[in-house]
């Protein structure tokens, strides 16, 4: 069954999460390491979306506390627009304010080691984005 995929786009990494096969829950999938080439990063995301049989992509937009877009949001919006032009599936932005902080809290509650948290924080932020989008 096709899935909804969420992306937490950062300067160094892109966290990826997806719904389960029934579309009921969100699961961490992978962290994509960014390269010097945005085209290569877009291709890596596109390949993963194909592998996951994604039917929709949700990209987290990091808004400021005021609700406005700052520098990081502008970078994410640029990546999102370039990705959306490449894909043949619906792609949308979703307010991801504080998703990384919430992901960190979830990992701390689960007593995940500091080293492991660094490995999975971006994936968990994508899970938080997807849960927010799905309303779960």
pLDDT of residue 136 exceeding 90 = no
CATH of the domain at 18: 3.30.420.140
- Per-residue model confidence as pLDDT tens digits over 77-120: 999 999 999 999 999 999 887 656 666 666 667 666 666 656 66
pLDDT for the residue numbered 117: 58
The number of beta carbons lying within 10 Å of the beta carbon of residue 84 is 15
pLDDT for the residue numbered 21: 82
pLDDT for the residue numbered 100: 63
Residue 51, classified by CB atoms within 10 Å of its CB into exposed (0-12), middle (13-18) or buried (19+), is: exposed
Q: What is the pTM of this model?
A: 0.87
Q: Containing domain of residue 124, as a range?
A: 3-134
pLDDT for the residue numbered 63: 84
The total number of structural domains that make up the chain? 1
């Amino acid at each position: 069954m096709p899935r909804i995929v969420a992306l937490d786009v950062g300067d160094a990494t892109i966290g990826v999460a997806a719904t389960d096969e029934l579309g009921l829950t969100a699961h961490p999938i992978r962290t994509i390491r960014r390269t010097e080439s945005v085209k290569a990063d877009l291709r890596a995301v596109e390949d993963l979306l194909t592998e996951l049989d994604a039917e929709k992509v949700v990209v987290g937009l990091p808004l400021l506390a005021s609700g406005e877009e700052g520098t990081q949001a502008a970078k994410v919006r640029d990546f999102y627009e370039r990705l959306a032009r490449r894909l043949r599936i619906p792609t949308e932005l979703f307010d991801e304010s504080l998703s990384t902080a919430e992901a960190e809290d979830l990992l701390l509650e689960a007593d995940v080691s500091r080293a492991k948290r660094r490995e999975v924080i971006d994936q968990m932020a994508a899970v938080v984005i997807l849960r927010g989008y799905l309303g779960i």
